[in-house]
Amino acid sequence: MFKGIYVAIITPFKNGRIDEEGLRKNLKFLIQSGVAGIVPCGTTGETPTLSTDEWLRVIKITVEEVKGKAQVIAGAGTNSTEKTIRNLEKLADLGIDAALIVTPYYNKPTQEGLIQHYLELGKVGVPIVAYNVPGRTGCNLLPETIQRIAAKSEALVAVKEAGGNLDAVSRLITLVGDRIDILSGDDSLTLPMLAVGAKGVISVVANIFPAELVQMIDCFFKGEIETAREIHLRLFPLTKLLFIETNPIPIKKAMELIGMAAGKPRLPLVEMSEANTRLLEEELKRLGRL
């Protein structure tokens, strides 16, 4: 159901407001590049700083522009089960393919709490992609916990795994890989995760190199492993630079540098430092984008 390159898009701003024209241009570029899907309003989209109206508007624009040419996985998770349910209810009739639901952050639920959280969300009827990113949330959605959720809820259709632990990914594939799709949440680990059974990636790098990453995934599944490896290694330095400061600070700067709609991050995030910007410029020049 979910396979290939999914782009965790930024939310471009202009004069403090959503740059709707810029957002549509960015989406057209990605769709023309052949990506499998678009993921609006995730971490990369600065969702914590969006109002409810802005959040819904970004998702509606994404669905309008995609027009069935790619899948849409809309970010909708909060650290409140009730609030997340209300978000899912707002999305139910918008034509999305699934909702990306991050594990509750700050309140640090137990594994049993995570199970009950996702089971309650599953009752809404919107397909769910669980998002495990312990470095941001402070809790880790364990493979065995995902197995228990998947056994009780057909709503769980995929997992975005960004724990950075390949052993955990292998365990996850072993437990549930035949029932739900596993997507990498770390660009630098996409190829290794594909090797153990993941189906694709929700990518930050794909905001600016979508066609190359589409080719990498296609080559891997066609058995052209050497070509896939070459693409992975060519983009690897950029991948690391795009996380040298808090995401999405670097990707917004990279998009600005190459002339795409981006705008400044909203506080409490700030623009990329001058020293790191120079490193990013040098790498973009090496890759032929500047």
Would you state the structure tokens that stand for residue 107, as one six-digit string? Answer: 């309140």
What's the mean pLDDT in 195-213? Answer: 98
pLDDT, residue 85, reads 98
Tell me the pLDDT band of 193, cut-offs 50, 70 and 90.
Answer: very high
Alpha helices in the chain, H assignment, sequence order: 20-32, 52-66, 81-91, 111-122, 134-137, 143-152, 166-176, 190-196, 210-221, 225-241, 249-257, 274-286
**Domain contains 69:** yes
Active-site residue, selected from the candidate residues 160, 199, 252, 253: 160
pLDDT band (50, 70, 90) for residue 111:
very high
Q: How many structural domains are present in the chain?
A: 1
The tens digit of pLDDT for each residue in 139-192 reads 999 999 999 999 999 999 999 999 999 999 999 999 999 999 999 999 999 999
Mean pLDDT value across the chain: 97
**Angle value at C-alpha 128, between 87 and 242, nearest 5 degrees:** 90
Residue 246 domain-assigned (yes or no) = no
Residue 54 domain-assigned (yes or no): yes
131 has catalytic annotation = yes
**Does residue 283 lie within any of the structural domains?**
no
Average pLDDT over residues 264-271: 97
Catalytic residue among 131, 199, 252, 253: 131
Look up the domain containing 190 and give its range: 4-234
Task: Report if residue 254 sits inside a domain.
Answer: no
pLDDT in tens, 68-83: 999 999 999 999 999 9
| Active-site residue flag, 160 | yes
Q: What is the CATH number of the domain that holds 220?
A: 3.20.20.70
Q: Is 190 annotated as a binding residue?
A: no
- Binding residue per annotation — 44? yes
pLDDT reported for residue 132: 97
144 lies in some domain: yes
What span, in angstroms and rounded, lies between the C-alpha atoms of 131 and 135?
12
